[in-house]
A and B are shown apart, each in its own frame.
Chain A
């Protein structure tokens, strides 16, 4: 069974640009969550999508947005990039998003802002 796939693996952007990251969950998984990981803050929850609806949202500004398609694939968009957005962005999928169901992570997209 294929794991969670994130593309691209690496991205370099400049301030003010926007970026779209993609995540393909494990087949059959309906919940997709996005996280930002930095050395100082660790893993921080961005948002979760379930059945094409945003079900939960973390404490990030509106520049961070996402969506989920009918096949459960998800995209995350960051507009007006800032230097502080440099981070590893991780996507995780699970069957239905309950805490007693393990999350399976992709290997992330490393975003660098110049």
Chain B
């Protein structure tokens, strides 16, 4: 079993829908949680970063961390065709100088106009 599990999709939604993307993990030591977006033929770009539990909002994006359930989510409100991409979750146990993030395999999202 992988340390981080992420449904690969593909997920297809109509424009304007609320999208929910999720990752589960097994290592209770994870404290830093990130969501990256990767467009086709591009490198990942950081969308959201959260520390420990709780919610964080940035525009149309909300990241949630539930450490008791070992579950993180990314919500996209009013989804747009430009949100069509692969979304990767990543997490790390500490803020030290080891950048050995553990990555999910990514969920492919298509937002249809």
Contacts and interface: CB of A to CB of B under 8 A. Distances in A.
Interface stretch (B9-17, B43-51, B65-73): B43-51
Interface in A71-112: 90, 92, 94, 96-100, 102-108
Contacts of B41: 107
Given A42-B106, A100-B95, A102-B49, A90 B100 contact: no
A13 to B, nearest CB: 20
A56 B99 contact: yes
A31 interface: yes
A90 B45 CA distance: 12
B92 interface: yes
Most buried by B among A33, A90, A100: A100
Contacts of A90: 43-44
Given A90-B43, A90-B44, A105-B45, A97 B32 contact: no
B4 to A, nearest CB: 9
Contacts, number: 67
B99 A107 contact: no
Most buried by B among A90, A94, A103: A103
Contacts of B32: 99-100
A45 interface: yes
Interface in B60-102: 88, 90, 92, 94-101
Contacts of A41: 105
Interface of B: 32, 34, 41-46, 49, 51, 88, 90, 92, 94-101, 103-106
21 contacts: A31-B97, A42-B88, A42-B103, A42-B104, A43-B90, A50-B97, A58-B100, A90-B44, A92-B43, A98-B95, A98-B96, A99-B96, A100-B51, A102-B34, A104-B45, A105-B43, A105-B44, A105-B45, A107-B42, A107-B43, A108-B43
